[in-house]
Amino acid sequence: MSELFDAQAPGYDADSFHPLVADTLVDGLSPGPSLLVDVATGTGAAAFASLRLDPAAVLAVDFSPAMIEQAHRKAARLDPGGRISWQVAPAVPLPLDDSSADAVVCASALHFLGAAALADWRRVLRPGGQLAFSISLAQRLHRNGAFGELMPQDLTLPSTADEAAALATDAGFVSATARTVTSHDGDRVREVFAVFAEG
């Protein structure tokens, strides 16, 4: 399965929507986490953005070696202090102990991970830890093609911000809110919900 994502790595950074979503998620978090985890990091947009929160450490996880390799190449310029640790590993379960993270971020990947990811995020977050994730709108994402076949069926894509926030609440998180992130590229409109909650 990782081969499909490996093939996307060379052109992944040409897509300006990924950094927009990553920035939105990070901007909704409080500064100074001891450990922030970027789940399904891709080429590291959210991990690099999180450095402005001044975390003690960042763990960026992705199961695609090619994505992690590309992130590594950028790290010399974008993370000269080496606060980000890059790990090729599955996103579920995360390679972390229970209650060990202060913040979890997941940009544009939950629809590939399914409901098990939400439960795992609760596991790794300390009490009161922060969660920020994006999720595609049901109206915008269609389960077809090779990538569609990878999407678990146990997660219902939301049609409204309230439904998006309910994904977190139903998984046991509190203080969940959601808002729409929209990008216009010519005639193409791209939208996701950005969801914020506490463990």
Q: Note the pTM of the prediction, 2 decimals.
A: 0.91
Q: Are 100 and 35 in contact (CB under 8 A)?
A: yes
Q: Give 96-121 pLDDT, tens digit per residue.
A: 999 999 999 999 899 999 999 999 99
Q: Give 158-195 pLDDT, tens digit per residue.
A: 999 999 999 999 999 999 999 999 988 777 788 999 99
Contacts of 45 by beta carbon, 8 Å cutoff, 6+ apart? 18, 19, 21, 22, 107
Q: Measure the CA–CA gap between 25 and 8, rounded to whole angstroms.
A: 22
- Choose the weakest-confidence range: 14-23, 116-125, 126-135: 14-23
The confidence score (pLDDT) of residue 13 equals: 80
Q: Give 80-100 pLDDT, tens digit per residue.
A: 999 999 999 999 999 999 999
Could you give all domains of the chain from N- to C-terminal order, each with its CATH number?
Answer: 2-198 (3.40.50.150)
